[in-house]
Amino acid sequence: MDSLRLRGIIVKLQDRLSNDDRKRLHFYLGNDVPRRIRDDASLSGTLSLMDSLFDQDKINEKDFTFLINAFNEIQCIDAVKLLREHLRQIQSNGLNQSIESLSMIMPPMINQLLQDQDEDKYAVNHFLVNQENTCDTNNIMINSDNTNINQMPMIICDKKAWHSEHKRNQISNSIMLYWKYLFIFILLSIIGYGILFFLSVKNIIDINQLKVSNKKSIEKIQQLEISNNQSIEIIQQLIHQMKHFIKKARPLRSSAIDIHPNAKWIQNGHTVAGGNRFGNRTNQLYNPCGLYVDDDQTIYVADQLNHRIVEWKQGATSGQVIAGGNRQGNGDHQLSILSDVIVDKEKDSLIICDNSNRRVVRWPRRNGTTGETIISNIMCVGLTMDENGSLYVIDFEKDEVRQYRREESQGTLIAGGNGNGNRLNQLSYPQYIFIDRDHSVYVSEYGNHRVMKWLEGAKQGIVVAGGQGKGNGLTQLSYPRGVIVDQFGTVYVADDGNDRIMRWIKGATQGDVIIGGKGEGEESNQLNGPVGLSFDRYGNLYVVDNENHRVQKFNIDSNA
């Protein structure tokens, strides 16, 4: 019965436990219960935990101080009060049962005493009757013999005197019986009060111990909270550093693998987007420009004259319009002659160079119907992003590159800005941009037929490709467009005017042709106005073949 009452109280107790109380209780008792119960902090999980404690005999109907201590350790005061009250009731019931037991023993004792008294009375009465008969006989004998009374022995039978003596004996016996009962009552009272006193002292000691334990527990919890907070901070710092390292180790549009300086690519590319002449159907492109290749080899293409961004999944034969595509215009739902696109994974959005509308637009990557202008009054041609989320945007009209930190609208000048020219501190019709892991900026210049590298904080750039005038020699470029850089500082550039992709090893005075260079054409080994350029994570090279209205993929030659 007591077990059922305790279980009922435990069930009632569940209403007073918050989810945090349950989690702390399961954590605190984690070493005393199976792991599946420890990890399930639901209502059913907590009831299973209680069943486990019953099964292990850590708690039972008479002793559940283990559970009281556990709730006290986790600061669940209501539960402690409820269980202590039940414990006091059990202890009080135990005392009452002891007294009842003594009461059950006492009546037979008293009845025996009363029975003894009745037997004494019977013996006395029997004695009196015998004495009366004896007295009468003696009197007759004396009288019949006419014997002199003074000479005969006499038996004095004074009933009054005897009754008086017997009454005194009865009173004495009653007094003795009273004192016996009084002694037993006092003895029982002393035992009862002794038990109560012992329980009270024990409770006071337990309370004091619980207070000390509670204080220590609070200190431990505070230490654990401090340690926990420090651990969380360390983990967050490590995660941030890991993210920073991962992002820093792989700049936008670069490869995740190390590319050997003498690497080669299969010369026959295959079409991964468009390639069905120009048009606005979902399997067509119209003078595409920039592109972005995701880790799963999904391609995002700036479909320039269709005024839209098209997503092409790996192996797809047609794309899906995910931004624009609502005719040319300047509305929030429209784009106009866009030139480049990247993906901001942190905000799961596209960032688009909306060139003709003189703005940079952020557009949701999934189910987006309108864009948000984040930079205004800028003739954006190319853009990229570093690992901190800062944007680097080319202003074709002002011949400069600006850095825009998150939520910043004005930007900081980091390259050019000294007018159109061919000096090292100038740019001439900049096109596309790349940021390496050291935050050096690489810019292709349409007007100077070169690629410039601007170190972080530099006031002028360094020529890293071309710069020998327009031409088709290995030291020259002709209207360079897309530019990317690998981990060794090797520069790869889309040489638009020469329909080829050039590679310039760091410090080299001339480059080498790695793709194309076989004249303008639409064969799988030819290009016609290459513009956008990007690696995927495996080192394969993607080229936006502008005049062929397609994107070509050239696989890296693993046998080279």
Domain boundary among the residues 104, 132, 148 is at 104
- The average pLDDT across 117-143 equals 46
Rounded Cα distance between 367 and 18, Å, is 39
Q: What is the pLDDT of residues 293-336, one digit of tens each?
A: 999 999 999 999 999 999 999 999 999 999 999 999 999 999 99
In a domain, 138, yes or no: no
In a domain, 67, yes or no: yes
Per-residue pLDDT at 134: 45
**What are 395's strand-pairing partners?**
380, 400
In a domain, 303, yes or no: yes
| Among 535, 537, 488, residue whose Cα is nearest residue 515 | 535
**How many domains in the chain?**
2
Q: What is the pLDDT of residues 212-229, one digit of tens each?
A: 776 776 777 777 777 777
In a domain, 164, yes or no: no
Confidence of residue 153 (pLDDT cuts 50, 70, 90): very low
Rounded Cα distance between 450 and 443, Å, is 8
Token pair, residue 240, equals 């941030």
In a domain, 184, yes or no: no
In a domain, 240, yes or no: no
- The average pLDDT across 437-461 equals 97
| Among 428, 423, 422, 521, residue whose Cα is nearest residue 480 | 428
Rounded Cα distance between 198 and 187, Å, is 16
Rounded Cα distance between 223 and 193, Å, is 44
Domain boundary among the residues 50, 70, 104 is at 104
DSSP H/E element including 9: helix 2-14
Domain boundary among the residues 104, 123, 156 is at 104
> CB–CB of 118/126 below 8 Å?
no
> CB–CB of 107/65 below 8 Å?
no
Per-residue pLDDT at 94: 65
Burial of 309 (0-12, 13-18, 19+ CB in 10 A): buried
The DSSP code sequence of 318-378 is S-EEEEE-S-B-SSTT-B-S--EEEEETTTTEEEEEEGGGTEEEEEESSS----EEEEES-
Residue 242 has phi, psi (to 5 degrees) of -65, -45
Rounded Cα distance between 85 and 74, Å, is 19
Per-residue pLDDT at 137: 41
CATH code (residue 425): 2.120.10.30
Q: What is the pLDDT of residues 49-106, one digit of tens each?
A: 888 988 888 888 778 888 899 888 888 888 888 888 888 888 777 656 655 554 554 4
In a domain, 216, yes or no: no
Domain carrying residue 452:
270-554
Per-residue pLDDT at 163: 60
Per-residue pLDDT at 423: 97
Residue 11 has pLDDT above 90, yes or no: no
Tell me how long the chain is: 560
End-to-end CA distance of the chain: 84
Report DSSP state, residue 436.
-
- The average pLDDT across 184-203 equals 81
DSSP H/E element including 235: helix 159-249
Residue 203 has pLDDT above 90, yes or no: no
In a domain, 26, yes or no: yes
Residue 385 has pLDDT above 90, yes or no: yes
Most confident of 72-81, 130-139, 206-215, 368-377: 368-377
Rounded Cα distance between 42 and 488, Å, is 55
Q: How far is CA 415 from CA 251, 278, 366, 525, in A?
A: 19, 36, 34, 36
Rounded Cα distance between 401 and 550, Å, is 28
**What are 543's strand-pairing partners?**
533, 552
Token pair, residue 87, equals 């414990």
- The average pLDDT across 167-178 equals 76
- The average pLDDT across 10-19 equals 83
